[in-house]
Amino acid sequence: MRIYRRAFTLVELLVVITIIGILMGLALPALNSAMESARIMQCKNNLKQLGTACCTHNSEQLTLPTGGWGWQFAGDPSRGYRELQTGGWLYNILPYMDNRALHDMPGPDRMKTPVREFHCPSKRKPIRYPFAHSGNVMCYRTGSSSIKTFNGETLVARNDYAANGGTRADPCVTGTSSGYYDALNKYFFKNNKDAIIGVRNFFKSEHNNVNDNTGAYCPGGGMSIHRISERDGASNTIMLGERHVNPDEYYTGTASDDDQGWDQGYDRDTVRWGGADKSLFGMAMGDLNYTPAIIDKIKAYYTRQNLNNNHWIPIQDKAGYTSPSRWGSPHGDSINFCMVDSSVISVSYGVDPFVFYCLCSHCDGQTVSSEAIK
């Protein structure tokens, strides 16, 4: 006896396809959410590794990494870890990430080498990116008296994390200080005591140095965890975090805050800030005396009404918007930071501006609860 097998009809096949499509539509958002959660966790792990390396640097060198000299200078393995070191914090922590080989690598090769831990996986990959800067940028030495620049190169390695420069945005990155690089270039080929004193006095008299800094990183020297702990405390002060970049400029190299590489000194590419105390409240150079009257002025200024479109509040990266000194992240609800005690926290984009200001300053005398950042 023959047995006839009944085939699917066209209608039944379409029903099955439709059901599969519906199930996939229901599953994809959950899958995407799970993948983003994994990326956020990796981002936090990156910050933890960077923060741990900074703390190890502090243990061995007695300070956190120096912010370097400025955007015109790259790292130099012969210049140590203090005032004479031209490169920034990312360069200086490489030996404490078991990556001394990269730290000691010749300038151009090092500048073009991506580091996975320097990138948020939700933002972009650890690859080489276009280098389109036309200025005299990222000098490095090739001998006792020879200077070369990164000009002519077309690719560079970048970073998605920045150090906390405090609440006094510095003129060395805003271009308001005349002769900044000319004044420093004369120390470029000197490793002696006179050069150390010269660099130290330059930053002390002209710029946001260790004696005038309210954050965790400054140019021309390093801030110590001990000093920060004596004021607001290591758990109340941001050390590192995610930096804002316009998504339209993730891959172009043309944004003013993303046009160079991780290897450079103190600049918007490697440092971010939470305020501008001296210009807003008339505080003098070296004045870290945050009296109740000053705090009241700061609290009155740092409100959503005043700062809704200001670059001192962290923001989610959004296409078409650029704010060069601002903290920011591609994540949906909050931004990740590593505190000076190396703990990692997430701060809501809706955080009170004064609360965030306090997180960026180590000497305002305020403490911040975990509830205040949600």
pLDDT of residue 46 exceeding 90, the answer is yes
Cα 366 to Cα 302: distance, rounded to the nearest angstrom: 14
Measuring CA to CA, which residue among 264, 253, 306, 290 is closest to residue 130?
Answer: 253
pLDDT for position 158: 95
| pLDDT(309) > 90 | no
Tokens of 50: 């960077």
Q: Which of 311, 290, 304 is nearest to 353 (CA)?
A: 304
- Spatial neighbors of 180 by CB under 8 A, at least 6 apart, are 70, 171, 172, 206
Name the strand (E) or helix (H) holding 100.
helix 100-103
Confidence of residue 78 (pLDDT cuts 50, 70, 90): confident
Determine the number of helices (DSSP H) and then strands (DSSP E) in the chain: 12, 13
Q: What is the pLDDT of residues 106-125, one digit of tens each?
A: 778 898 999 999 999 999 99
Distance CA 143, CA 109 (A): 16
Domain ranges (residues) in the chain: 10-373
Q: Which residue has the tokens 């150090």?
A: 163
How is residue 332 written in tokens?
């949906």
Q: What is the pTM of this model?
A: 0.87
pLDDT tens, residue by residue, 222-261: 889 999 998 888 999 999 999 999 999 999 988 888 988 9
Q: Which of 84-98, 138-152, 287-301 has the lowest mean pLDDT?
A: 138-152
Pairing of strands 217-218, 221-222: antiparallel
List the structure tokens of 122: 């939700």
